[in-house]
Amino acid sequence: MPYVYTSKDKYIESIRSLSQLIQQYQNVINQDSVARCLIGFTTAQLIRDATFPIDLESIENWLKTRHCHQDILKNNNSSLDTLLDILENIHYDLMTEEHQNEKVKDSLSEDILNRTYKQFPICEL
């Protein structure tokens, strides 16, 4: 009698089911970074461990809730580009502020040196 490796069959079925779920909710996954993370981590865990139990029903129910909020996210302009623009603006503001602080420090240092020189002149050439 041939040996039947049922765990392998379950692993193949898990991969197939996850692939179908990804195809079904591809639009949501493409537009939602949290959904991409969930799918990415689930897939990585499944690749690492063939016995990893996947609750596809739970994942699908969660993806359905993300699908409901998809239009709200678009209307709030919460795209990745917007977040990157915000981060770039914060970085620019901080760099500008730091540059201005350096100018003030340089100006103060120069004033202090001038006053010190006037009080304690070394020899003039």
**pLDDT at residue number 117:** 55
Contact, 57 vs 89, CB < 8 A? no
Q: Which of 31, 23, 22, 25 is nearest to 72 (CA)?
A: 31
CA distance 25 to 45: 20
Q: Tell me the whole-structure pTM to 2 decimals.
A: 0.50
The per-residue pLDDT for range 49-94, each reduced to its tens digit, is: 888 888 999 999 999 988 655 444 454 445 545 655 665 666 666 6
CA distance 3 to 41: 32
**pLDDT at residue number 73:** 47
CA 63-69-71 angle, to 5 degrees, is: 125
CA distance 3 to 10: 15
